[in-house]
Structure 1
Amino acid sequence: MEEETPYIDEHVVRVDAPREPVWAALQQYTTSLLRSGERNPLLVLLGPQPRAGFAVAESIEQRRISLEGRHRFSRYRLVFELSDGPGGATLVHARSFGAFPGLHGRIYRALVIGTRLHVLATTHMLRAIRAATALQAD
Structure 2
Amino acid sequence: MESATLPHVDEHTTVVAAEADAVRLAVGAVLDHSFGSGRAVRYARLVGCADRTASGPRPLARGSTLPGFRVAAAVPGRELVLVGRHHFATYALVFRFDGAGPGRVRLRAETRARFPGPFGALYRLLVIGTGHAVLVRRLLSAIRDRAERDRAGTQPDR
Q: Normalised by the size of structure 1, how large is the TM-score?
A: 0.89
CA RMSD, Structure 1 to Structure 2 (Å) = 1.9
- Indicate whether 1:56 and 2:71 are aligned: yes
Q: Which has the higher helix share?
A: 1
- Out of 119, 133, 138, the residue aligned to residue 147 of structure 2 is 133
How far does residue 39 in structure 1 lie from its aligned partner after superposition?
Answer: 5.2
Q: Normalised by the size of structure 2, how large is the TM-score?
A: 0.78
Q: What is residue 65 of structure 1 aligned with on the other side?
A: 80
C-alpha change, 1:6 and 1:39, in structure 2 (3 Å) is closer
Q: What is residue 81 of structure 1 aligned with on the other side?
A: 96
Q: Deviations over 1:78-136 (max 9, x none)?
A: 00010011453111100000000000000000111122x11011111101111111231
Distance in 2 between residues matched to 1:66 and 1:38, nearest whole Å: 23
* Secondary structure in 2 matching 1:111: helix
Q: What is residue 16 of structure 2 aligned with on the other side?
A: 15
List runs of 5+ in structure 2 lacking aligned partners.
Answer: 53-66, 154-158
Q: What is residue 41 of structure 1 aligned with on the other side?
A: 42
Q: How many residue pairs align between the two structures?
A: 137
List runs of 5+ in structure 1 lacking aligned partners.
Answer: none
* Secondary structure in 2 matching 1:48: coil
C-alpha change, 1:2 and 1:83, in structure 2 (3 Å) is closer
Q: What is residue 56 of structure 2 aligned with on the other side?
A: none
